[in-house]
Amino acid sequence: MSIITLTSDWSTSDFYVGAVKGKILSGCKDCTVVDISHSIQAFNTAQAAFVLRNAFHNFPKGSIHLIFINTEPSPERPFMAVKAHGHYFIGTDNGIFSLIAGEHAETIVKLSAEQKKSWSAFDAFCDAACKLATGSMIEDLGETVSSFNVRMPFRPTIEDAILTGSIIFIDSYQNAVTNISKELFEKVKQNRSFDIYVQSKHYKISEISDFYHDVPVGELVALFNSVGLLEIGINNGNAARLLNLDTNSTVRVEFKDRKK
């Protein structure tokens, strides 16, 4: 039984999610349709990539992931199907494939247009997914090409004893996830003490916790989350809202010289 997942910025109050599910099940009755998220900010490709990138590995190999984010096509941004990490991703070539697959794409296919007056993402993605689910090869979906549009992710910078990153995702609890990985943090830290500044010198954290409840209720906390990224939160609070944080807000780690 094939698994088809859906990621979109539609919310669940519109008819779009139901319409897509209906079209998929009409084309391949034996598949299982799973919602990953329909709460992506409108047109926020980076947020969608973050959510899907950290979710798809938990699905069985061969799963098909439909991405309804910023789907309007153009000659420079065609509809595409990409096989990477043993999974299939179908969406518009707006840079999202590079944020999900990186350099691990196995096959890239530009979807062939059906003979219709209007060929929408609704038709193209559902039809392609059903073909894959019923045994077609990805190469059967259109023209095999060698590359997709590349969008470079924001990366932390290192200068002297300062590691500067940015917030790349804010979850439903208003916790702020940064692009600073545990591996990079430890590499730069080298057993030194540090201060983490969120946006400004006013908000400072001087230790990494294991759990939110390691600090008193209402206090700022920094920890590495389940995907190994530095996360800023408030125990039983809403960090992003209270600190006026958004994606691209700055988080700076200043490492101190070792005591002689």
Count: domains in the chain: 2
Q: Are residues 78 and 27 in the same domain?
A: yes
State which amino acid sits at residue 151.
R
Q: Are residues 14 and 75 in the same domain?
A: yes
pLDDT-derived band at 258 (thresholds 50, 70, 90) equals low
Q: What is the pTM of this model?
A: 0.87
User: Token pair of 210, please?
Assistant: 């294991």
Q: Are residues 9 and 68 in the same domain?
A: yes
State the chain's maximal CA–CA distance in angstroms. 75
Q: What pLDDT is recorded for position 115?
A: 47
Q: Are residues 43 and 122 in the same domain?
A: yes
CATH number where 203 lies: 2.40.30.90
Q: What pLDDT is recorded for position 86?
A: 96
- For the chain, the 3-state helix, strand and coil shares in percent, each to the nearest 5, are 25, 35, 45
Q: What pLDDT is recorded for position 247?
A: 87
Q: Are residues 131 and 81 in the same domain?
A: yes
Q: Assess whether pLDDT exceeds 60 at residue 133.
A: yes
- Summarize pLDDT for 160-197 with one digit per residue, the tens: 899 999 999 999 899 999 999 999 999 999 889 999 99
pLDDT-derived band at 114 (thresholds 50, 70, 90) equals low
CATH number where 131 lies: 3.40.50.10790
150 in any annotated domain: no
Say how far apart CA 170 and CA 168 lie, in whole Å. 7
Q: What pLDDT is recorded for position 202?
A: 85
Q: What pLDDT is recorded for position 259?
A: 55
State which amino acid sits at residue 122.
F
Q: What pLDDT is recorded for position 201?
A: 83
> How much of the chain, in percent, has pLDDT values that exceed 70?
97
If you average pLDDT over residues 117-128, what whole number do you get?
86
Domain span including residue 87: 3-145
Q: Are residues 78 and 178 in the same domain?
A: no
Q: Are residues 61 and 7 in the same domain?
A: yes
Q: Are residues 82 and 132 in the same domain?
A: yes
